[in-house]
Structure 1
Amino acid sequence: MLRIHFTAEDLGRVRVLPEPDPMWETVFSIFRLQERGPSLVFHEWRRAVALACSPEDLAMLRALVPGGYFPDFLTPSEGQFGLDAGIEALLSTPRSRFRAELGILAGRHRLPSWTRQLADGDRETVQRLADAIRGHFRSAVEPYWQQAQAHIDADRARRARAYLDGGTEGLLSSYLPMMRWSSPVLSVDVQQEQDVHLNGRGLVLVPSFISMSTPDFLHDSALPQVLVYPVEHSVPVSAAAPAPRISLAPLIGDTRTAVLESIGEGSSTTELARRVGVSAASISQHTAVLRSAGLIRTGRVGKAVLHTLTPLGDALLKRGLATVA
């Protein structure tokens, strides 16, 4: 159990990132490739990435991400600003931090000899690690970025409504069952016991597309605090070629097209009825059809029933040429 303790100041300093962190996604991709057993969502992804990635890059990263603990220097907070910023932060890691975090890893796993050079901050070895991260990101993460962003947009719509309805405490409460908010503590089921006191630093919530089934966090509680959580997947992950643009109305009808276009970042049944110009009962019928087709997701946020686009619905809407007049 991870228990994150908030102060009143911390509640005003909670953020949800608008996109995945490429450094975290790259690390999670290593875990996914080592995952045993069937995975309906990631089966096609694992097969494609195993063929596309560099064996040398993968071997280097697997040595540092063998399962369980991995060094925090692989996921610097600067990664939230993009891959280049994350890699620049990695290249600037102090030697003392390389040594300390690799020491923790060596206490749990047998490490290859080249990690001694990394622990000494050898620039050539550090650069080789940075190149491996960049190369693996391009093979395992970048081709799926559009899918990842669509899933995270859907998740953010739900979180935004929860925040509007209940403030930061409403946002934190929306993460059930993966996290449990009981003021002033956010409890997260993880594989070890840890208490983190934010003490005014705030918390960055990082949505992840490739993450495993539970949230992840930094081992060193003195670092800027992030909590990385998995978003829901509505379809299997695959690197599909862009589909041709289509007209939606002949496929799903004018009213359902209008409903999709009106959902935006998330809308209630009453809001949709007002925007589309039909009764709430009619909206309920149309949303039931769209939901059964996998184009929208309906969930309760507080007392409201909220409709949001799924990644499939968002992609279909973006490909549609015709809009309802």
Structure 2
Amino acid sequence: MSVIWTLRPEDVARIRFAFSPMWELAASLRTLRDPARQAVHLPWIRSVRSRLAGLDLAELFALVPPSGYLADFLTPPPDTPCPDFAAELDRVRRTPPAQASREAGRVVGADPAVIERFRSDPEAGVARVADALEAYWEACFAEFWPRVHALLERDVLRRSRRLARGGARELFAELDPAVVWTGERLVVDRPWCTDAGLHGDGLVLVPSAFYWPSVAVMSAPYQSMLVYPVLGVGGLWENGPPPAPGALAALIGRSRAQILLALVEPSTTSALAHRMAVTPGAVSQHLRVLSGSGLAVGMRVGREVVYRRTSTGDALAAGPP
């Protein structure tokens, strides 16, 4: 079975990317319950396991079962390219009770007593669930979000360049094997079937580290959203910058060499600072030197400046043939 979306020209023109801390948070609940499903996240699980004792996650686990449908109101499609957690949590809190009840009733495999309690008073249930999400975020996720965000950011920059260069066909050709673009229809291999157009407001593409390696979809009454596995998740929990070859470090300095190597994919100053474990100000100083030397160049994307290597920087980072 497959999800089949017919994309009109205006839908293709409105394809956009976004991150969602709430989506990652909800997906991580499945990671906690089945660590073997995503062994790549074991370092995170080991870090947060001791913090779970003080949290009541029973209702969240019921609404986000180990597999299959999870209640959509927990993961509303992002309405901005990079929403913060507080804004997304507010959207969850404002879910109409009747909608939350309907979605809770669609969940399969959950504890029926917990679901019944939620549906008996969905307004109170939404409030409890929002509070549980906030407590879980603060205890187990907030400190790790910059690392996850940096990975998602690199993926979006890479995909955006591909969309700009080759259009929808080139973008979807390498998004995921479960996603096929026919030139008019987007076919997503998922275990439920629908064949419909979009709502005229385009398609939101959301990379995910904690839903990896699967894809997910959302549609009416929400904006159509496709969640796809982020690239590079294997390095998410690695610590420290990439090692710099001695010759390159001797030529331009170790910190600048490490930054130049880290720019194998375009990145912002904040993302580089987090990876290098130094201040954004220090990274900015090194980037100014690299840019002034013709090894890197900055380009404005929205409100941020994204840096990439120039061809000279690529050649220098590659080392001698």
TM-score, normalised by the number of residues in structure 1: 0.71
Provide the secondary structure at the position in 1 that maps to 2:113. coil
Check 1:261–1:49 CA distance in 2 against 1; reply closer, same or farther (3 A cut): closer
Aligned residues: 276
CA distance in 2, matches of 1:228, 1:49: 25
CA distance in 2, matches of 1:57, 1:239: 30
Contact preservation (8 Å) 1:2, 1:192: yes
| Structure 2 residue 86 is the aligned partner of structure 1 residue 84 | yes
| Structure 2 residue 31 is the aligned partner of structure 1 residue 32 | yes
Greater mean alpha carbon deviation, residues 167-176 or residues 126-135: 167-176
* Corresponding position of 1:16: 17
Q: Match of 1:25, as an amino acid? A: E
Shift of 1:6: 0.4
CA distance in 2, matches of 1:317, 1:93: 38
Note the alpha carbon deviations across 1:244-298, whole angstroms, 9 max, x for none.
x999796843369778767xxxxxxxxxxxxxxxxxxxxxxxxxxx5xxxx46xx
Note the alpha carbon deviations across 1:84-115, whole angstroms, 9 max, x for none.
2222222222222122112222xx22535343
CA distance in 2, matches of 1:199, 1:46: 39
Contact preservation (8 Å) 1:23, 1:74: yes
CA distance in 2, matches of 1:43, 1:52: 15
Higher RCO structure (Cα 8 Å, ≥6 apart): 1
CA distance in 1, matches of 2:274, 2:130: 34
Q: Match of 1:150, as an amino acid? A: A
Q: Match of 1:158, as an amino acid? A: R
CA distance in 1, matches of 2:277, 2:134: 32
Superposed, 1:21-60 pairs within 5 Å as 21-37=20-36, 39-54=38-53, 56-60=55-59
Superposed, 1:219-298 pairs within 5 Å as 220-233=219-232, 235-238=234-237, 252-253=248-249, 254=251, 295=262
* Corresponding position of 2:265: 308
Provide the secondary structure at the position in 1 that maps to 2:275. helix
Shift of 1:138: 2.2
Shift of 1:16: 0.7
Contact preservation (8 Å) 2:152, 2:208: yes
Contact preservation (8 Å) 2:21, 2:145: no
Check 1:109–1:170 CA distance in 2 against 1; reply closer, same or farther (3 A cut): same
Check 1:138–1:229 CA distance in 2 against 1; reply closer, same or farther (3 A cut): farther
4+ residue runs over 6 A deviation = 245-251, 255-260, 310-314
Note the alpha carbon deviations across 1:159-194, whole angstroms, 9 max, x for none.
122122123443333414342222111222223333
Check 1:54–1:60 CA distance in 2 against 1; reply closer, same or farther (3 A cut): farther
State the percentage of identical aligned residues: 26
Check 1:44–1:259 CA distance in 2 against 1; reply closer, same or farther (3 A cut): closer
* Corresponding position of 1:97: 99
Check 1:94–1:50 CA distance in 2 against 1; reply closer, same or farther (3 A cut): same
Which runs of 5 or more residues in structure 2 are unaligned? 294-321
* Corresponding position of 1:119: 119
Note the alpha carbon deviations across 1:8-56, whole angstroms, 9 max, x for none.
1101111011xx3122111100111122537442111122222223554
CA distance in 2, matches of 1:233, 1:203: 23
Check 1:175–1:313 CA distance in 2 against 1; reply closer, same or farther (3 A cut): farther
* Corresponding position of 2:8: 7
* Corresponding position of 1:265: none
Shift of 1:120: 4.0
TM-score, normalised by the number of residues in structure 2: 0.72
CA distance in 2, matches of 1:239, 1:97: 40
Instruction: Name the Cα RMSD after superposition.
Output: 3.5
Q: Match of 1:99, as an amino acid? A: S
Shift of 1:125: 3.1
CA distance in 2, matches of 1:46, 1:246: 24
Contact preservation (8 Å) 1:204, 1:226: yes
Superposed, 1:180-195 pairs within 5 Å as 180-195=180-195
